């Protein structure tokens, strides 16, 4: 993990390349208009805006989210690399050290917003990820992995209140090497659901969110159940250290599932954050504590508890 730390600190401590609107010879009026259209992140020519009369604008490929991501949700799409110290587990024949790996992200297709107010309106996003864990003391066997993807229709009022309606898919798998070594059979855990979420951000950097999901398609109806709930509280300050290049954050996420008799899962995150406005991405490095059901649907009946040090990249 040390190379990731040096990259993280290096990007934060040394001067960044000037953004497009600060380059010599560029039209200041054009740069100002682009910055208005994409208020939170990258201001570049890969976003396309159309005028829909005097009151509305249509922005393709927006570089920011109207509905923020859940920082402490262990299954949300993104990029993740972490080393885990397993404190307790019900998964047999696994070691106390694991590598967690996640590869994926979210893409904004378009945003419909009032003229002059790109921070409010409606947006359609797509997301997907591979979420896996590997056992380095057993030939780095893949214990299990989930393939997740979904589409989100979001709305924000520009003053901290946002909502989303999402169609989400989760297909879970047992790792091939782990299955061969242990004889573990797949229970065919696949879940298609509708989710409704509410997010409320405060100016002080705090944010509260709550979400409920209902599965309309479950491949193992004998074991699976439709309902789940999720809630969380986050604090994020992007301009905390080193001339506002490095910030810090803390987040807690709590979830419960009907198929687990509403037994709760708790995740706590804390660490440093590096918001790169010129790259439309956010880097995070920090600690993670988790207690609850195993991270994969195929192992949802087993409990685990771990502490991890990790690197996260919002794509």
pLDDT digits (tens, 9 = 90+) for 161-178: 999 999 999 999 999 999
Strands (E), 115-188: 121-135, 141-156, 161-174
Point out the least confidently predicted range of 19-28, 30-39, 206-215: 19-28
- Mean predicted confidence (pLDDT) in 136-140: 93
Cα 280 to chain centroid, rounded = 15
State yes or no: pLDDT of 35 exceeds 80.
no
CATH number of the domain bearing residue 128? 2.40.160.40
Tens of pLDDT, residues 246-292: 899 999 999 999 999 999 999 999 999 987 665 667 899 999 999 99
Tens of pLDDT, residues 103-127: 999 999 999 999 999 999 999 999 9
Residue-averaged pLDDT of the chain = 86
CB atoms within 10 A of CB 54: 6
**What pLDDT does residue 42 have?**
38
Expressed as residue numbers, the domain containing 249 is 2-314
Backbone angles phi, psi at 76, to 5 degrees: -70, 145
Dihedral sign (CA 85, 89, 91, 95): positive
- Mean predicted confidence (pLDDT) in 299-304: 97
- Mean predicted confidence (pLDDT) in 3-22: 40
Contact 105, 79 (CB under 8 A): yes
Q: How confident is the model at residue 26 (pLDDT cuts 50, 70, 90)?
A: very low
pTM, 2 dp: 0.83
CB atoms within 10 A of CB 40: 15
Report the domain count for the chain: 1
């Amino acid at each position: 993990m040390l190379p990731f730390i040096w990259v993280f600190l290096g990007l934060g401590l040394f001067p960044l390349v000037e953004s497009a609107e600060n380059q010599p010879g560029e039209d200041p009026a054009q740069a100002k208009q682009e910055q208005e259209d994409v208020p939170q992140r990258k201001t570049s020519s890969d976003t396309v805006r159309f005028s829909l009369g005097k009151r509305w604008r249509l922005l393709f490929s927006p570089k920011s989210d109207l509905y923020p991501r859940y920082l402490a949700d262990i299954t949300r799409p993104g990029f993740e690399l972490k080393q885990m110290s397993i404190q307790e587990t019900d998964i047999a024949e696994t070691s106390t050290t694991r590598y967690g790996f996640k590869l994926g992200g979210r893409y904004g297709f378009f945003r419909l917003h009032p003229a002059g107010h790109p921070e409010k309106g409606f947006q359609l996003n797509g997301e997907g990820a591979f979420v896996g864990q590997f056992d380095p003391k057993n030939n780095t066997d893949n214990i299990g992995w989930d393939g997740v993807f979904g589409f989100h229709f979001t709305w924000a009022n520009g003053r901290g209140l946002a909502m989303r309606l999402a169609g989400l898919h989760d297909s879970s798998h047992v790792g091939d090497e782990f299955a061969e070594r242990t004889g573990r059979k797949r229970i065919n855990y696949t879940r298609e659901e509708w989710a409704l979420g509410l997010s409320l951000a405060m100016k002080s950097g705090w944010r509260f969110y709550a979400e409920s999901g209902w599965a309309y398609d479950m491949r193992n109806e004998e074991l699976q159940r439709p309902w789940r709930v999720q809630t969380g509280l986050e604090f994020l300050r992007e301009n905390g250290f080193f001339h506002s290049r490095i910030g810090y954050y803390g987040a807690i996420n709590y979830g419960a599932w009907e198929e687990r008799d509403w037994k709760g899962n708790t995740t706590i995150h804390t660490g440093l954050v590096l918001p790169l406005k010129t790259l439309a991405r956010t880097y995070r490095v920090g600690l993670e504590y988790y207690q609850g059901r195993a991270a994969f649907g195929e192992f949802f009946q087993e409990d685990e508890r771990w502490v991890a040090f990790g690197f996260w990249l919002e794509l």
